[in-house]
Amino acid sequence: ADDGYRLWLKYDLISDVAQRNAYRQATQYIAADGSSAVLKTAAAELQRGLQGLLGQPVPVVAKAEAGSTKRGILLLVSPTANVPGSSDASRDGYRILTQGRNLVVTGRSEAGVLYGVFALLRQLQTRQPVANLATASSPRIQYRMLNHWDNPNGTVERGYAGSSIWKWYELPENLDPRYTDYARANASIGINGVAINNVNASARYLTPEYLQKVKALAGVFRPYGIRVYLSVFWAAPKVIGGLKTSDPLDPQVKQWWAARTAEIYKTIPDFGGFLVKANSEGEPGPQDYGRNHADGANMLAEALGTHDGIVMWRAFVYKANSNGDRFREAYEEFKPLDGKFSPKVLVQVKNGPIDFQAREPFHPLFGAMPKTPLVLEVQITQEYLGFATHLVYLAPMFKECLDSDTQTKGAGSTVAKVVDGTVDQHRVSGIAGVANIGSDRNWTGHPMGQANWYAFGRLAWDHSLTSAGIATEWAKMTLTNQPAAVATIVDVMTKSRDIYVRYTTPLGLHHIMGESIHYGPQPWLAKAGRPDWTSVYYHKADSMGLGFNRTATGSNALALYSPGVQAQWGDPKTCPPNYLLWFHHVGWQQPLPTGRTLWHELVTRYYTGADSVTWMQQRWASVKPAVDPALFNDVTARLKIQRQEALWWRDACVLYFQTYARQPIPAPFTPPT
Ligand code: GCU
């Protein structure tokens, strides 16, 4: 049975003999021209993949033999390689081409060749004909990051796949082979940076003891083109430095960070930089000293000095009772700082204004800070999307944000183009995904959760890829190459996120989940102290209607968007029903564009959403002959839970909102008992 450990890098023997032979003829040896660690990795991975897929050993040699009649694969690093999209700033692209009898995988950097090798293996894993192997690609985004919310004690904040994969108590001496497989998986999808610890950070990582451990991990990742970053605890100068303050403008504090940074680079010469959560959810920060986010970020940037490192400063900030709409807060704190950040600083913004809800409108900061490179942060771990029990394929959600048109520089100023730097001509660009990886044998708990890790990497590389296209690649590499089964699986995957939204938070409802655990429904949650952590604050149900009025007659958060977006979302008639209750308090009897009243539409979505899980179960049952039995059973069991919990969500929410709407459950739906 397949335990899921190998992810999408299975390299199982290709059973179609004709295809296998065609591939065998084209891949008789590998020539790696050079001896860098990354190139060696590329050659070794190719050798491993070919050995598995084709069932025969393929030798690695230093150079293509002149006059040989064999057909080889040449791995070639050349600063002048003709790779579309390559530039001085971006040398990660690759090109695969035929040259005489050989295939050449080339790039302007070793990493480019490594990515090319994984692309070539992907072509074989997805069974592209030999004649179609030539291809080329360059990443659109430069810093492609995973953020781990892992703690020193081995727990993972919002992690649902076991504990942390980092075994701090065994490092640096013992290097779990899993670290290498993790690096392989990341490199295969183009991820080139990992922040290994929780944004709610411990200061411990900056101690000499822990830096040795981090160094050991960096050593494993380096041959895979991956750099290590650290989340830092703002008060570290006090906690581990013995200083009385962590005021960013204090000379001793500056000196402390400069000295720490110097030690980090002495230990890890290719250290990537810092990720910072400050003055958010109780974390300390520069505002504790009357300074602002730019003061803090720029001080760290200065500490990095001439080292090739960056600061990713998070914009996820909000305070209790501040101004009546949490939606506005990050914008209000950060927008005025546009132009005040040092060139080494990128501001990291979540996809939506609240917090990784199943559906959010794009964050109003995208397009609003043209002088600052913005990193898009999405969540791969399913904090609000059913943990590791619900099958929810997230590419459609990532794409929905990336494809949103901010209209800040005319039509077509999509979030993707803001983030990749094309809208405002930034040289640096970044994207971060909060990892769903843990110590579970299959890495992600839900076997299908692997697809979300995969899809994040693929979109970080190229946001123009389609959700279905990525799902198809992944399913073929991971589950089966049987065409009808692939089509069924891809269909279920691409519809799953909309289905989840329907049975949990349809029509723009948000933040009505269980308190602090963030699982299951709790729309009735109300309590004093932190209204911004309750449910009633967000849904605003009353006897008249439902939804948060964010128009000019309400919190006016809509005014943070460009006029074109405001015009569309500001009118309940033109606002897409999917965002309706994000922006409008709508009467229960108000007819919607669907022809139903709000109440009727709400009930319809909850019921049809829950019933669609039955459809998912049926579709999944049909692929049984094509997939591994253990994996089949695992997903089948999780879908059963998903169906039960969809009913739980449906009944809890419909019955709760019914106490305000005071309407019967419309036919053909039967009231919950
Ligand atoms: C969410 C999540 C927290 C996390 C925070 C963040 O609020 O529930 O656990 O720390 O996001 O992104 O900083």
Ligand 1: centre distance to CA 381 (Å) = 11
CATH number for region 17-137: 3.30.379.10
Tell me if residue 506 falls in helix, strand or coil. helix
Q: Which of ligand 1's atoms lies nearest the C-alpha of 198? A: 10
Note the pLDDT of residue 406. 98
Alpha helices in 361-464 (DSSP H): 395-402, 415-419, 450-461
Spatial separation of the C-alpha atoms in residues 256 and 633, rounded to whole Å = 54
Q: Which of ligand 1's atoms lies nearest the C-alpha of 434? A: 12
| 421 Cβ contact list (under 8 Å, min separation 6) | 373, 427, 428, 429
Backbone angles phi, psi at 547, to 5 degrees: 115, 160
* Token pair of 414 as six digits: 């999509």
Between CA 378 and CA 383, with CA 382 as vertex, the angle to 5 degrees is 95
Query: Is the minimum distance from the CB of 628 to ligand 1 under 6 angstroms?
Result: no
Overall fold of domain 502-661: Alpha-d-glucuronidase, C-terminal Domain (3.90.1330)
Question: How long a stretch of residues is the chain?
Answer: 673
Spatial contact of 86 and 132, defined as CB atoms under 8 Å apart: no
Pocket-testing residue among 148, 150, 355, ligand 1, by greatest number of atoms within 8 A of Cβ: 355
Query: Is the minimum distance from the CB of 533 to ligand 1 under 6 angstroms?
Result: no
Return left, alpha or beta for 67; rule: phi > 0 is left, psi -120 to 50 is alpha, else beta: left
Q: What is the dihedral of CA 628, 631, 633, 636, to 10 degrees?
A: -120
Alpha helices in 505-547 (DSSP H): 536-539
Ligand 1: centre distance to CA 113 (Å) = 36
Query: Is the minimum distance from the CB of 316 to ligand 1 under 6 angstroms?
Result: yes
Spatial separation of the C-alpha atoms in residues 120 and 105, rounded to whole Å = 8
Query: Is the minimum distance from the CB of 224 to ligand 1 under 6 angstroms?
Result: no
Spatial separation of the C-alpha atoms in residues 638 and 635, rounded to whole Å = 5
Note the pLDDT of residue 88. 75
The partner residues of 196 in beta bridges, in order of sequence, read: none
Which residue's alpha carbon is nearest to atom 11 within ligand 1? Answer: 355
Ligand 1: centre distance to CA 277 (Å) = 10
How is the chain split into domains, by residue range? 17-137, 143-478, 502-661
Note the pLDDT of residue 321. 62
Note the pLDDT of residue 528. 82
Spatial contact of 653 and 523, defined as CB atoms under 8 Å apart: yes
Q: Which of ligand 1's atoms lies nearest the C-alpha of 277? A: 13
Closest by CA to 522, choosing from 530, 533, 531, 513, is 513
Place of tokens 């190229």: 462
Note the pLDDT of residue 393. 99
Pocket-testing residue among 377, 383, 533, ligand 1, by greatest number of atoms within 8 A of Cβ: 383
Spatial contact of 307 and 274, defined as CB atoms under 8 Å apart: no
- The Cα-based distances of 210 to 86, 204, 296 in angstroms read 37, 7, 24
Note the pLDDT of residue 2. 84
Spatial separation of the C-alpha atoms in residues 99 and 104, rounded to whole Å = 7
| Amino acid identity at 102 | N
What are the per-10-residue average pLDDT scores of the chain (673 residues)?
93 97 97 92 98 97 87 95 85 96 96 98 97 96 98 98 98 98 98 98 97 98 98 98 98 98 98 98 97 98 98 92 83 97 98 98 98 98 98 99 98 98 96 98 98 99 98 98 98 99 98 97 92 93 98 97 98 97 98 96 98 98 98 98 98 98 96 82
Q: Is the dihedral of CA 613, 617, 619, 620 positive or negative?
A: positive
Distance of CA 577 to the CA centre of its chain: 26
**Eight-class DSSP state of 287:** G
Spatial separation of the C-alpha atoms in residues 256 and 441, rounded to whole Å = 41
Query: Is the minimum distance from the CB of 338 to ligand 1 under 6 angstroms?
Result: no
CATH 3.20.20.80, applies to 143-478:
yes
Q: Which of ligand 1's atoms lies nearest the C-alpha of 350? A: 12
Distance between start and end Cα atoms, the chain: 41
| Amino acid identity at 429 | S
Closest by CA to 311, choosing from 229, 431, 427, is 229
Spatial contact of 372 and 312, defined as CB atoms under 8 Å apart: no
Spatial separation of the C-alpha atoms in residues 79 and 88, rounded to whole Å = 10
Spatial contact of 103 and 158, defined as CB atoms under 8 Å apart: no
Active site amino acids: 281, 355, 383
| 17-137 and 502-661 agree in CATH topology | no
